[in-house]
């Protein structure tokens, strides 16, 4: 087995949002690559299914700051200092402009953005003390541009991308690296209810492989699948007026 500079073997990794989908597959993949793994989410029974006794299971809700701090302590007790922390908790539901749901919007912010804030606060001080560590945030290509129906989700994803980019520059001199993960469509609980076309869909296993490969290469951004990532990178360059015209057609469903 060839060792990359950023080998995952022997590393301690804590994945938050690991009960299903990308997080569960990532826990599995990290274990296979020789990491010691701790997993968190709200549903302990689901975590136990993922772990099968091979991982440290710590139930936690990212919107509960004190609970997340306690979870971080328990993970450190079990694994030692945390080398890699992954924020993979995510909430998505389509917004309807005809009945603007402020509570639904707020739920996206609570989980996706304030959840990330809570997790970073739970792990960053110790990483800075130790002058090492890796923060991985799972955002989305939906944060690259605004999609009708994803006003709430896309807003939090764009915010995550910006926040992680800012953090990357700030913690670099402390020996900490920050990786932004931007998946396209992955076949998970999150996307199961979607009724719109989802091009280039991949499995959670493929997503986990892409993430681990990127981490081993030391990438700062991991976007996949490649065709969707390229499409969205290109979409970023389109003029506002062109994007608006193209997207308003998709919104009339």
3-state secondary structure the chain: CCCCCCCCCCCEEEEECCCCHHHHHHHHHHHHCCCEEEEECCCHHHHHHHHCCCCEECCCCCCCHHHHHHHHHHHHHHHCCCCEEEECCCCCCCCCHHHCCHHHHHHHHHHHHHHHHHHHHHHHHHHHHHCCEEEEEECCHHHCCCCCCCHHHHHHHHHHHHHHHHHHHHHHHHCEEEEEEEECCECCHHHHCCCCCCCCCECHHHHHHHHHHHHHCCCCEEEECHHHHHHHHHHCCCCHHHHHHHHHHHHCC
Active-site annotation holds for 153: yes
Q: Of 153, 163, 208, 211, which is the active-site residue?
A: 153
Residues belonging to the active site: 153
């Amino acid at each position: 087995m060839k060792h990359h500079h950023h080998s995952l073997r022997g590393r301690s990794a804590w994945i938050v949002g690991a009960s299903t989908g990308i997080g569960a597959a990532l826990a599995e993949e990290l274990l296979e690559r020789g990491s010691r793994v701790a997993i968190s989410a709200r549903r302990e029974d689901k975590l136990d299914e993922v772990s099968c006794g091979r991982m440290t299971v710590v139930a936690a809700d990212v919107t509960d700051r004190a609970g997340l701090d306690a979870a971080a302590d328990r993970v450190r007790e079990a694994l030692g200092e945390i080398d890699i922390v992954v924020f993979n908790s995510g909430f998505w539901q389509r917004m309807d402009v005809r009945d603007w749901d402020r509570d639904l919007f707020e739920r996206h912010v609570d989980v996706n953005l304030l959840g990330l804030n809570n997790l970073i606060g739970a792990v960053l001080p110790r990483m800075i003390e130790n002058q090492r560590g890796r923060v991985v945030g799972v955002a989305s290509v939906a944060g690259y541009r605004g999609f009708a129906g994803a006003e709430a989700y896309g807003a939090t994803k764009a915010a995550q991308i910006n926040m992680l980019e800012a953090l990357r520059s700030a913690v670099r001199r402390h020996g900490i690296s920050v990786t932004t993960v931007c998946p396209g469509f992955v076949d998970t609980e999150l996307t199961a209810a979607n009724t719109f076309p989802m091009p280039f869909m991949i499995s959670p296993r493929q997503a986990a492989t892409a993430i681990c490969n990127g981490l081993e290469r030391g990438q700062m951004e991991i976007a996949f699948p490649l065709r969707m990532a390229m499409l969205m990178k290109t979409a970023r360059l389109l003029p506002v007026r062109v994007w608006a015209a193209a997207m308003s057609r998709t919104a009339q469903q």
